[in-house]
Amino acid sequence: MAGHAQAADNPAQPARAEQTSGQATSPVAATPIPTLAQPTTIKVGIMAGEDEDVWRVVQANAKPHNLTIKLVTFSDYTVPNQALAEHDINANAFQHQPYLDAQIKARGYHIVRVGDTHFEPMGIYSTRHASLQGLPEGATVAVPNDPSNEGRALLVLEHEGLIKVSKGAGLFPTALDITDNPKNLSVRELDAGLTGRAVKDVDAAVINTNWAIKGGVDVQHQRIAVEGLDHNPYVDFIAVNADDAGKPWVKTLVASFHQPDVAAEITKDYHGAAVPAFKAGGDKGQP
């Protein structure tokens, strides 16, 4: 979600969309939830919106296992890691690894990934054109303007053959790193929260799933290209302070998320546009 960029191995666009939808409805095996020896209460920071309903299911899963989860909602992506670092909350769940890496580099946080949650593929959306091939010469394409999201969006455009960016930019290219632009696309940088609402004003917009939904975009019918999950670094996850990573409540928290009812709630709340990551490749950071 945060910073909430690009798969290394995607099939063609229609197949990608079908693959994402198929993963979102495949069965999920329940993960055994460890019961804590003593009743424990933790605070988990999440973004306001679709995730609130998902986390209410997690709360219900954790309660019988001596873990009470209190939710703290945020509307600004820069705040949950600061709150975690200052121990105002015990965990957060809102970001992918490139975003956390950028935050650690900028602010020196000692925050680690402990369990994957879901993958919100970034998509290219348009109300004017039915396909990428329909984008005209000089088309205006909106992208988010924060470092991790802009880089992700430009890599999506590159993967679709619309531009090329400097290899030296890694996961964080900007418009200045575009080295080839055969259609002379005009890249318009906007706050990520505005990209969904701006789609009607541009030829196309590269939008995070959550902002597309909040902006009233039809994520199934106005999407003309979408990321795939394979080898994608932009899977969202639960994070904790490094000093807490080995505590028993962390495993109970992660296992409470990795349940079929949580997967079903993700599919419902994101209208099939988000994939439960814990059934599509497993965790990359459990303690």
pLDDT in tens, 192-248: 999 999 999 999 999 998 899 889 999 889 999 998 777 789 999 999 999 999 999
| pLDDT given at position 2 | 55
pLDDT average, residue stretch 6-23: 31
Phi and psi torsions of 157, nearest 5°: -60, -40
Calculate the average pLDDT of the chain: 88
What is residue 50's predicted lDDT score, i.e. its pLDDT? 77
**Alpha-carbon distances of 232 from 32, 47, 118, rounded to whole Å:** 27, 22, 12
Tell me the domains of the chain and their CATH numbers. Answer: 20-120+232-279 (3.40.190.10), 122-226 (3.40.190.10)
CA angle (266, 284, 165) in 5-degree steps: 85
pLDDT over threshold 70, residue 1: no
Distance between CA atoms of 68 and 245, rounded to whole angstroms? 18
- pTM for this entry: 0.76
pLDDT tens-digit map of 40-71: 999 999 999 879 999 999 999 999 999 999 99
Determine the angle formed by the axes of helices 260-269 and 13-25, rounding to 10 degrees: 140
What's phi and psi for 83, nearest 5 deg?
Answer: -65, -40
SS3 category, 129: coil
Taking a C-beta distance cutoff of 8 angstroms, is the pair 100, 113 a contact? yes
Return the pLDDT at 146.
Answer: 87
Residue corresponding to tokens 């619309």: 162
pLDDT of 27 reads: 61
Average pLDDT of the segment spanning 108-116: 98
Those residues with Cβ within 8 angstroms of residue 233's Cβ, 6 or more apart along the chain or in another chain: 5, 96, 97, 98, 171
